[in-house]
Structure 1
Amino acid sequence: MKRRTRNLLLNWRIILLTLFLVGSVATLAFKPLTFGIDISGGVALVAQTEHPVDSDTMQLVVSSLQKRLNTLGLRDITVEAQGDQIVLIKVANVSTAEEANQIKSVIESQGVFYMEFSGTVFGTGEDVEYVGIYQIKPDNSWAVPFRISKGAAEKFAELAYGKKGWPVDMFLDPPVNSLMVVPDSVYRLMNSTDFNAEAPNAPTLMERIGQAFNVTVVAYANQSADEIAKLAEGKDKIVLVDVPQDLQTRLEGMNLTVRYVPRAPGESDHALIVRVLGLYGPYSLGEGLTVGEPQQDVQITGAAPDRLTAEQEASTIYTVLKSGSLPVKLNVVGMEFISPRLGENFRTQALYAGLAALIAVLLIVYFHYRNWRIAIPVASTSLFEVVIILGFASLINWNLDLPSIAGIIAAIGTGVDQQIVITDELLSGERSTRITRRASVLRRMGRAFFVIFASAATTIAAMSFLLVYFVGTLKGFAFTTILGVLIGILITRPAYAEIAKYLLGED
């Protein structure tokens, strides 16, 4: 008996299940789950384009909105195209009309794209006449060709003469004519040469945005609201970056326009600066553009460690260039708040429903087999699957919403069916000699897993169709269902088979 127990504990399938289970629990302990708008609360807005657009233009609208809204420091944002005119925007953790109206104004604004060099804006989105398809080379370098207006080309040629390697910046909706209050570490980084490309002697990023956009940057040193308001005289707004949020309330009480930008979890100073400014770059100025000759056809180039990263970088620049001259305007035609209290009720109800389902599985399996040695492992395996799925969701920052939770339940239901198949196959075998019994077990397990893999394949195929071709909440349902099925057939189902063989004396 002790030998059989030791063999079970040392079985690689059991060890694999244990590792994933422990890893999931540790992940959930240190990285709490994030929830979608229907659970955490927020606002949903429906925007409509002025006229129907093709799929490429709609994709640019979606990408551009996602980037603009991210500069607000909002964590859970989903932007989905629905047809050729409707865009659905969901933003979690928004509870006031002021926050919702700020989001609405961003959606309805066309956005402004700037090209800046040495503190001078030489072009805007209106100067981008054409953007070519980006190119990825075998060495994972990339290039995005585009054409600027004659006036912008002439101005840039004059500014760039003899300045090889100097930084060229692009901005999407920067905080023009504002006072930025930032932590000391952010202030020092903006005033360093880290954003100077290959020219340490070029003006710092702080100097460039100050001259180009009249942005004044100050380091937060426990200044009072009155002191900050005095510094902001003549500015259109105050941007508070990763400083005490109570300053926002005090300054807004003084009838000042304030934008508060928190630091995202794990976000570096560099990434925070890039996000707040809407900065893309800096890009090092090539020698061919420093000879003083206006060139309308230019390109932005870069290099990445692998092709996937190169695709992402090139695609981002392509979208930014295109969205700077987006030819369609959006109007918000609907807005709906979802109460955090209602979302909390959803979360509690989902927890109760999950516990009730687990108990129901335990009782139904027991009454079917009249054996707790079967019922308890089946229910426990279902619980393990839930923990591992939630661990994966936490690890990849998947925002759980109600359809996602429904997908988890669907995957668990499929898992229970498959465990019953395994159990029935084990109980159907005859008991003869030890060798015959072992061969019979292998055959029966082979039959069981053939059925399980066939069932899993059809489920994954069906859910993949939803994941690829549908939008909105169906994607969350499809993703968690596929994840649960994969975890089941690769981790929990093989482990359950070993446990069942041990408990039923079939090994």
Structure 2
Amino acid sequence: MSEEKPKGLLSDWRVRIFIIAILLSLVAIQPWYSADEGFDTNLDYGLDLEGGSWLQVSLQGAVIQANVDSGMTASALVENIVGSPVEVVNVIPPSEGQSTITISLKTQASVTQSQLNQLGLSDSSVSREGNLSEITLYTTEQQLIATYLSEELNAEVIPYAVPGGVEYEIRTKAEQETVENLLADVGGSLLTDENGDKLYRKGVRTETRDLTKEILSEKLNALGLKDIPVRTVGDEYILMDFAGIDLTTAKEIAQKPGKFEIRIQTEGNNTKHVLYGDDISSVGVPSRHDGQWYTPFKLTLDGANALQKAAIETGAVNDPNSHWLYMYLDDKEVYGAPLSPSAASRIRTNPIYSWEASTGADNESKAQAEQLQIHLRAGALPVNVELVGSGQVDASLGDQFKKQAVLAGLLSMLAVAGVVYRRYGKKQILVPMVATSVSEVLMILGFAAAVGWQLDLPSIAGIIAVIGTGIDHLVIITDEVLYEGKLPPTKVYLSRIARAFSIIFAAAATTIIAMSPLVVMGFGALKGFAITTIVGVLIGVLIARPVYGKVIKEVLQEKGEKQ
């Protein structure tokens, strides 16, 4: 009979799943030992266990609500492009249910339609009567304010419809006094709320903050480093942890991803914004053909339309050599070239999505193509960021924390084992119980290794908490099974196991519900604790606890506990 017991355990599908989970966890963790490096695993450790550095950056921007005098604003915009005084003739406000304003202007300067198209307003026309240019603009107040602030601040300004008005996001550093002075120049001002406070705040909108965070996370981790957590604090700050990386290197890495922009030459040395890096959908590997090195990239629908519009408005389709395309990373030029004749011809009628940037034919050109690939991948930030805080955890201190965390886990396991043995006084109960608890820890670590999740001190605290709650559940199972001090008949055993698991599942559900807000709302370090606890509880109730119930019955039967 003794040879049949193992076969009985292995025939249970829950036991087989348990064994598979253990083996997969070992594969994911990949423990190994070498004389040079000692014991190591595939686990990723956070800043407090690995040592390293942290950075805090501020998103440069402002969000406002404002009004302006439409005629004065239009006049200022046209004056900037023609370099001569412009007089307001008439302003026709929008009719009921419409938003288009018709503005008539005149100036002694010669004005072309191409110049007006550069403003990016809805529509415009110009005619020459005697020595005067008569201009008619068809636009909206939103367009006027966004275009005016964009030109004056040399930055992107995005209008957003909000309840009760329009909000303007200025994607560069803009102090309140600076904005108010610019608005005052065109008869405008900041709006106020019901309390009389001016509608101005530093930072950016939540959507822009989240986009910046996502791009930073993707670009930093694309450098081949360990997973770098990127967290947001309000709408103005982003925190980054660089485990195992010194502060100097962390600053260098964080500063590489920047604000990428494509601009087109208008007249002389002046350029006009076309698109940002978020309109680049993909970047290919540099290749050589037709005797030249090229870096291929693709634009989104909006990006392709924006480039087509800019090429037509500036006249690049007719004279490419006078209207080069320039690429900037953090306001520094990284590439410049005219449209090819074939591209200029095609883009006249249709937007072009797939592009190739040529860098030349020699080895230096190859290096330039590879560098341009990096710029294209790294330059998708919609706003500039400024380093406002930093710190470092010494590697030796992180190693000490790691050892102390392991020691704390072992001590907690030994303490639990002592309490269990004192309660039951039977090794055949103690060994399966401790083995089950160890297996849960192993599966949690396997899960962490598989998903690339960084372990930090709160995560270790969560694992220790899981050990405690797991032993509680195992005690419930054991007490139900040995309610009368001995292993009951199978029918009674199944009834008691079912009752024990009803209690366990209710307790597990309560724990998961209690921890869920910390995961969803992301309260910093507490998030790691909550995730570890939830994962540990799920592994326990779905995999480990059912197997313990089966094993304890088999072990006690083997020891002759059943009457």
Say which is worse superposed, 52-61 or 32-41, in terms of deviation. Answer: 52-61
Larger radius of gyration: 2
2: CA distance between counterparts of 1:85 and 1:493?
Answer: 46
Deviation at 1:5, TM superposition (A): 4.0
Is the counterpart of residue 208 in structure 1 residue 357 in structure 2?
yes
Distance 1:92 1:215, change over 3 A: farther
Distance 1:91 1:20, change over 3 A: same
1:217 to 335, 342, 366: 366
Letter aligned with residue 506 of structure 2: A
Deviation at 1:76, TM superposition (A): 2.9
Q: Which residue of 2 aligns with 1:53?
A: 204
Structure 2, unmatched stretches of 5+, are 32-40, 61-201, 265-270, 282-298, 321-326, 336-353
1:334 to 370, 380, 389: 389
Check whether the contact 1:382–1:415 (CA below 8 A) recurs between aligned residues: yes
Give the secondary structure class of the aligned counterpart of 2:53: strand
Q: Which residue of 2 aligns with 1:379?
A: 434
Letter aligned with residue 208 of structure 1: A
1: CA distance between counterparts of 2:453 and 2:499?
Answer: 35
Give the secondary structure class of the aligned counterpart of 1:53: coil
2:52 to 42, 51, 71: 42
Letter aligned with residue 553 of structure 2: K
Check whether the contact 2:262–2:275 (CA below 8 A) recurs between aligned residues: no
Q: CA RMSD in A?
A: 4.2
Q: Which residue of 2 aligns with 1:504?
A: 556
Give the secondary structure class of the aligned counterpart of 1:45: strand
Say which is worse superposed, 71-80 or 53-62, in terms of deviation. Answer: 71-80
2: CA distance between counterparts of 1:55 and 1:144?
Answer: 24
Check whether the contact 1:131–1:144 (CA below 8 A) recurs between aligned residues: no
Q: Which residue of 2 aligns with 1:358?
A: 413
Q: Which residue of 2 aligns with 1:487?
A: 539
Check whether the contact 1:429–1:441 (CA below 8 A) recurs between aligned residues: no
Q: Which residue of 1 aligns with 2:528?
A: 476
Structure with the larger helix share: 1
Check whether the contact 1:53–1:84 (CA below 8 A) recurs between aligned residues: yes
TM-score by length of 2: 0.56
1: CA distance between counterparts of 2:422 and 2:51?
Answer: 41
Letter aligned with residue 241 of structure 2: K
2: CA distance between counterparts of 1:92 and 1:46?
Answer: 15
2: CA distance between counterparts of 1:499 and 1:52?
Answer: 58
Is the counterpart of residue 113 in structure 1 residue 271 in structure 2?
no
Give the secondary structure class of the aligned counterpart of 2:235: coil
Is the counterpart of residue 402 in structure 1 residue 457 in structure 2?
yes
Deviation at 1:278, TM superposition (A): 3.5
1: CA distance between counterparts of 2:479 and 2:410?
Answer: 25
Letter aligned with residue 240 of structure 2: I
Distance 1:331 1:174, change over 3 A: closer
TM-score by length of 1: 0.61
1: CA distance between counterparts of 2:399 and 2:450?
Answer: 22
Q: How does 1:203-352 map to 2 (within 5 A)?
A: 208-210=357-359, 216-217=365-366, 276-279=374-377, 320=380, 323-324=381-382, 326=383, 329-352=384-407
Q: Residues 442-480 of structure 1, C-alpha deviation per residue, up to 9 Å, x if partnerless?
A: 111111000111111111122222111124222222222
1:465 to 517, 539, 551: 517
1: CA distance between counterparts of 2:503 and 2:312?
Answer: 66
Distance 1:68 1:155, change over 3 A: farther
Distance 1:176 1:126, change over 3 A: closer
1: CA distance between counterparts of 2:401 and 2:272?
Answer: 44
How many residue pairs are counted as aligned between the two chains? Answer: 360
1: CA distance between counterparts of 2:473 and 2:237?
Answer: 42
Check whether the contact 2:518–2:530 (CA below 8 A) recurs between aligned residues: yes
1: CA distance between counterparts of 2:505 and 2:300?
Answer: 44
Give the secondary structure class of the aligned counterpart of 1:77: coil
Check whether the contact 1:131–1:145 (CA below 8 A) recurs between aligned residues: no
Structure with the larger strand share: 2
Deviation at 1:103, TM superposition (A): 3.7
Deviation at 1:125, TM superposition (A): 9.7
Deviation at 1:172, TM superposition (A): 7.3
Q: Residues 104-151 of structure 1, C-alpha deviation per residue, up to 9 Å, x if partnerless?
A: 5447x5x123489xxxxxxx993239999x9xxxxxxx9754562743
Q: Residues 346-374 of structure 1, C-alpha deviation per residue, up to 9 Å, x if partnerless?
A: 11111111111111111110001111111
Give the secondary structure class of the aligned counterpart of 1:148: helix
Check whether the contact 2:458–2:525 (CA below 8 A) recurs between aligned residues: yes
1: CA distance between counterparts of 2:53 and 2:416?
Answer: 37
1: CA distance between counterparts of 2:482 and 2:499?
Answer: 13
2: CA distance between counterparts of 1:388 and 1:81?
Answer: 30
2: CA distance between counterparts of 1:91 and 1:156?
Answer: 47
Say which is worse superposed, 416-425 or 29-38, in terms of deviation. Answer: 29-38
Check whether the contact 1:172–1:279 (CA below 8 A) recurs between aligned residues: no
1: CA distance between counterparts of 2:272 and 2:213?
Answer: 17
Letter aligned with residue 151 of structure 1: A
Letter aligned with residue 217 of structure 1: K
Q: How does 1:422-437 map to 2 (within 5 A)?
A: 422-429=477-484, 437=489
2: CA distance between counterparts of 1:375 and 1:215?
Answer: 69
2: CA distance between counterparts of 1:409 and 1:125?
Answer: 58
Check whether the contact 2:262–2:273 (CA below 8 A) recurs between aligned residues: no
2: CA distance between counterparts of 1:369 and 1:68?
Answer: 55
Q: Residues 272-299 of structure 1, C-alpha deviation per residue, up to 9 Å, x if partnerless?
A: x96x35449xxxxxxxxxxxxxxxxxxx
Give the secondary structure class of the aligned counterpart of 1:94: coil
